[in-house]
Amino acid sequence: MLARVLDHARVGVYSDHLSADDLRSAHLGKVEDIAAAIAAEGPGARVCVLPEGPQTIPFLPAAAAL
């Protein structure tokens, strides 16, 4: 599933347990400051924050998916 996401988006990870090299080896970016990373994307960016990583199941309500 991660590979499918990476086909369409850049993924950054905020973690105290993984180094930038560890994340880079999985094609992920290291995020040091969540607020700064979101602000750096600019006002038109679409951002998804998963507070529990892979334990979070994101979804769009049917009306929002249009």
Q: What is the pTM of this model?
A: 0.71
Within 8 A by CB and 6+ apart from 10, the residues are 29
Residue-wise pLDDT for 2-47, tens only, equals 888 899 999 999 999 999 999 999 999 999 999 999 999 999 898 8
As a whole number of angstroms, the distance between CA 49 and CA 5 comes to 14
DSSP 16-46: SSS-HHHHHHTT-EE-S-HHHHHHHT-TT--
| pLDDT, position 65 | 58
Ranges of each domain in the chain = 2-42
